[in-house]
Chains A and B, each alone.
Chain A
Amino acid sequence: MFVHGLRECPKCPKHGALGCSKPELGPDNGLLQVTDSPVPLPDDFPTTPAFDDHQHLIGYVDAAHANDLRNCRSTTGMPFFFPMQQLPTAPNYNLSPPPAQLKLNLLLLSFLPKLHVIFASSSMNLVTHNLVQHQFTTTMYWPSK
């Protein structure tokens, strides 16, 4: 029984009373109760491969493609372990640029030698500076035919 606070009794609303109700139990989904002790692994769980050289950094990497549907980016996870100290470093996430952005970069790079023809010479420094600053990811300077 959990006391949610002072409120009107639902059975007799005209009398102010302390309302008590049972907590709503969730469906029995078969999950174990979370405790502070490590979760026991299944018996058939494979063991972690042991590396002979225990004095070097060990890193794991994995990537999932296009998890970010809105920006169309893939995710890369890279945790690193110091085996001697049994101390993992902070895991690192990396979001790669979307494929369309990469294509745009390559197209802009292919147009780069012709920029002095496309743009006026007075604005050449500004254009180059902005292209480097935006890492060739903007369409502001897309040459018009």
Chain B
Amino acid sequence: MINSQIPTERSRHIDIQYFAIQTWKENGDIIMHHIPGILNPSDDLTKPLGWVLHSCHARRLMGHYN
């Protein structure tokens, strides 16, 4: 959605206001990187994880380590 300048087949139902993220990327306000889910702490907020990953992400969210 960010890399394409027009609504794609999968993003045509998204409200037009959310396409402002394309402008933010053009202006350099945001930089997007893809990271695997095993490193993504937001996985802990959306999915039921196992004990190891949940402990890793939860303690990182609480600031125990970087």
Contact = CB atoms under 8 A, between A and B. Distances in A.
Chain A interface size, as a band, is 20 to 34
Given A41-B56, A91-B61, A62 B51 contact: no
B39 A46 contact: yes
A64 B60 CA distance: 20
A39 B56 contact: yes
A38 B43 contact: no
Majority SS at the chain A contact face: loop
Given A49-B35, A102-B13, A60 B46 contact: no
A119 interface: no
B46 A75 contact: yes
B52 interface: yes
- Where chain B touches its partner, the secondary structure class is loop
Contacts of B35: 49, 60
Contacts of B36: 46
A26 to B, nearest CB: 14
Interface of A: 31, 38-39, 41-42, 45-46, 48-49, 51, 60-64, 67, 75-79, 86-88, 91, 93, 102
